[in-house]
Amino acid sequence: MTNKCSRCGKERVVVNSRKEKVGSSYVFYREMSCPDKDCQKLVEKVLSNEAKKRVFIKDEQLKRENERKIRIANSLKN
Ligand SMILES: [Zn+2]
């Protein structure tokens, strides 16, 4: 399996790896990063923006769901 940078297409390199014991077996975690530091910074920026967007969308959905519940509760009162 190749792991190429989504921005520049360069092969990603392992910058950090660790091993954790889960139950009776070990799980390996590998942190991959673009060899181009500036490119990696941009990739991380995009990722964090997307994560923020997802949180925002979830908040909006919860808000709408609550508003809907209130509307239903109000309509039952009348
Ligand atoms: Zn890159």
- The pLDDT tens digits of the residues spanning 55-65 come to 999 999 999 99
What's the gap in Å between 39 CA and the centre of ligand 1? 5
Neighbours of ion ligand 1 (CB under 5 A): 5, 7-8, 34, 36, 39
Quote the CA–CA distance of 57 and 10 in Å, as a whole number.
32
Residue 31 backbone zone (phi > 0: left; psi -120 to 50: alpha; other: beta): beta
- Name beta bridge partners: 19: 28
Per-residue pLDDT tens digits for 1-20: 678 998 999 999 999 999 99
Task: Measure 57 CA to ligand 1 centroid, in angstroms.
Answer: 28
Residue in 40, 49, 29, 28 with CA at minimum distance from that of residue 4 = 40
| pLDDT at res. 66 | 97
pLDDT 10s digits, 31-46: 999 999 999 999 999 9
Average pLDDT over residues 13-32: 92
CB 17 within 8 A of CB 4: no
| pLDDT given for residue 3 in this prediction | 87
The domain locations on the chain are 36-78
